[in-house]
Amino acid sequence: MSTKSSVEASAKERRVKGKHASSTENRRMVWEKIIWPLILDVNRSYFNLKEYHIKRDEFCQTYKIQPSKFASGVISLTVKGILTREKNIYSIHYRLIPYMRKRVYLKYGLVLREIRHLKC
């Protein structure tokens, strides 16, 4: 009986996330691990595609994650309005620039609150 209960417990642990949760997790990871550290490194409110690829590849090599996992995260951040794109240059929302100047570690939740504050 104990093996049956342990199998059921491990099945519950392996639950697959839904589409919305997975997208949010990708956005959060891309923002907190790649985009925001890149913004702080270059010390300006924009970055080009080459700079992003270098930072992404560094992160992927360190944590052994496929680079393709981040493609949807960047696109999703653009759709949310956190990033804007013109040709091969991405820039952050203007309400995030003061955080960049103060070199504050900006979590994804605060980013959403700042962006949505404008719409209310």
Residue 109 belongs to domain spanning: 21-119
Side by side, the strands of the sheet bearing 46-48 are 46-48, 89-92, 83-86
Q: Among residues 58, 44, 33, which one has the least CA distance to residue 92? A: 44
Residue 56 covered by a domain: yes
Residue 5 covered by a domain: no
Residue 4 covered by a domain: no
Strands 83-86 and 89-92: antiparallel
Strand partners, 89: 48, 86
Q: What is the pLDDT of residues 52-83, one digit of tens each?
A: 999 999 999 999 989 888 888 999 999 999 99
Residue 12 covered by a domain: no
Classified as helix, coil or strand, 15 is: coil
Cα dist. 94→5, 10, 41, 42, 44 in Å? 52, 45, 18, 16, 12
- What is the CATH number for 74? 1.10.10.10
State the pTM of this model: 0.80
Q: What is the pLDDT of residues 9-30, one digit of tens each?
A: 444 454 566 766 778 888 999 9
What phi and psi values does residue 85 have, to the nearest 5 degrees?
A: -125, 135
Residue 59 covered by a domain: yes
Query: How many angstroms separate the CA atoms of 80 and 78, rounded?
Result: 5
- How many structural domains are present in the chain? 1
Residue 62 covered by a domain: yes
Residue 14 covered by a domain: no
